Amino acid sequence: MVDIELRVNGQAERASVPAGMTLLEFLRDRLALTGAKEGCGIGECGACTVLLDGRPVTACLVLAVEADGLDVRTIEGEATDGELSALQRAFVDAGAVQCGFCTPGMIMSARALLLRSPHPTDEEIVEAIAGNLCRCTGYEAILAAIRAASEEGGEL
C-alpha cells in the first residue's frame, strides 16, 4: 500500500492505495465518483477522461499513485453549486447526448481544450475529442456543443 494525498474537484483527499490501483479505480471505487467510465481499460476510448493538473488523461492508464500531490478534476466538478457549466448546458441544448456513457469523458476532453484554448478552431475541437469514442451521436452535435460553449467563451 502507498499513501497518497491529492485534490479531487478542489477537495483534499488522503488515501492508502495498492501500488497497482489505477486512478480510475480510485475515483470510482474509493471516492464513488462514477462519472468517469471504463469503456476499454487500455486508453483507447476516452470514456474515463479526467484532468490531471489541467491536462486530459485516460484515468484507466494512470496509477492512483501517479496522481499523488496533483489536482484531479472530474465530471463531478464541472457544475458549480448545482448550476451546469456553459459547456454542460451547451451539450444539453445541442442534443449532444444520447446514451450518455461517453458524455463525461467527452466533456472533460472539451474542458481541457477550452482551458488551454478558450476559442478553438474547428480543427482543434476535432483533435481534442478524436480520442473519445461515441457510438450514438455521430459527433456532429458534440462538435456543435463545444463550438457553442467556446463562443460563449470566458466562463470556465
Chain residues that interact with other proteins, rule: CB under 8 A = 28, 33-42, 44-45, 47, 74-76, 78-79, 84, 88, 91-93, 95, 97-104, 107, 125-127, 129-143
Residue number with CB closer to other proteins (127 or 152): 127
Residue number with CB closer to other proteins (54 or 79): 79
CB of 54 to other proteins, least distance (A): 19
CB of 83 to other proteins, least distance (A): 11
Residue number with CB closer to other proteins (6 or 129): 129
Spatial CB neighbours of 128, under 8 Å, sequence gap ≥ 6: 56, 109, 110, 112, 113, 120, 146
Tell the burial category of 130 from Cβ atoms under 10 Å away from its Cβ (0-12, 13-18, 19+).
exposed
Residue number with CB closer to other proteins (33 or 51): 33
CB of 31 to other proteins, least distance (A): 12
CB of 64 to other proteins, least distance (A): 14
CB of 58 to other proteins, least distance (A): 12
Instruction: Extract long-range pairs of 56-61: CB within 8 Å, 24+ residues apart.
Output: 56/108, 56/109, 56/112, 56/128, 57/23, 58/131, 59/22, 59/23, 59/24, 59/27, 60/22, 60/23, 60/24, 61/22
Max CA separation in the chain (angstroms): 46
Residue number with CB closer to other proteins (5 or 29): 29
